[in-house]
Amino acid sequence: MKEELIQEIKELIKTSKEDSIEINPNYLEYFEQEELEEIKNQLMQKKEKVNIDNAGYLDELYEKTKKDEL
């Protein structure tokens, strides 16, 4: 289960599909499963917030581009 959580954390850290994320295994062994789950949850919340923030910006950019085409 711990390995699965580590893989999920690595995926959440990625900014593109091509990224290769390596985390020192000794560092990860320091954390308990509950701590890893909390790290995962925090990363998910941050990623969701970034997506929401970017959505507003992208909508605004789209509207400006649409006006320029007219």
2 neighbors 33 (Cβ within 8 angstroms): yes
Give the predicted TM-score (pTM) of the model.
0.67
17: which DSSP letter?
T
Structural domain range at position 13: 2-69
Number of domains making up the chain: 1
Tens of pLDDT, residues 6-56: 889 988 888 888 888 888 878 777 889 999 999 999 999 998 888 887 877
Predicted local confidence at residue 51, as pLDDT: 80
pLDDT at 68 over 80: no
